[in-house]
Amino acid sequence: MDGATVREVALCAKVNNAMIYYHFKDKVELYRSVLSDSFTAFDRIWDDEIFKTRASVRLKIGKYVEELIRFQHGNEELRRILSMEFASCGRNFKWVAENLFKNSYQRLAAILKEGMKTGELQKTDPSLAISTLVGMVIQSFIVSPMAEYVTGRKLNLEVVKFTAFVTGMFFDGMTGKQSGRTSTRKRIAQA
């Protein structure tokens, strides 16, 4: 955003410079509008029927993860831009959090709290759980090129398999055992 002028954006978009200023006050507003428009597709996830039913928390989280993975596959440039926004904690940070992430964060937190209440999930800080869940997906996409270089093979981030992997890791950890096991904290405390 800092490197391009509105005139350069207008040239690339093949529109008149005045047209951009007519619709957007400045390039920050243009930038934010593009980000918002790009995120609209992801926010539609919450319209899925599964979130309106009494489906298990595991199924709801699985659907969320599946759509997050689909979104990552289709929005590489957006992921790069948002990674830079988060890393810089710049002037857009609060705007990005408020306008692009707050709604999904609150909905996901409500699902996690529901799971803690019903016993599907152990009681924990929802913000840590959300960071871990979302981080597993996004970080895997971010490090994918490096992992491929180091290992000599591509990470399998195919939607169905990667959704199953992330959901399994989130609910069952590396043990692969279904919920109902002794929590990791209790096992460590007993040792």
Mean pLDDT across the chain: 85
Q: Which residue has the higher pLDDT, 184 or 48?
A: 48
Residue whose token pair is 């840590």? 128
Cα–Cα distances (Å) from 114 to 2, 98, 119, 138, 180, in that order, read 42, 23, 8, 24, 16
Q: What is the DSSP letter of 101?
A: I
Residue whose token pair is 């939607």? 159
Q: What percent of the chain has pLDDT over 70?
A: 82
User: What ranges do the domains of the chain cover?
Assistant: 42-190
Q: Convert the pLDDT of each residue in 68-103 to its tens digit.
A: 999 999 988 888 888 888 787 777 888 888 888 899
What fold does the segment set 42-190 form as a domain?
A: Tetracycline Repressor; domain 2 (1.10.357)
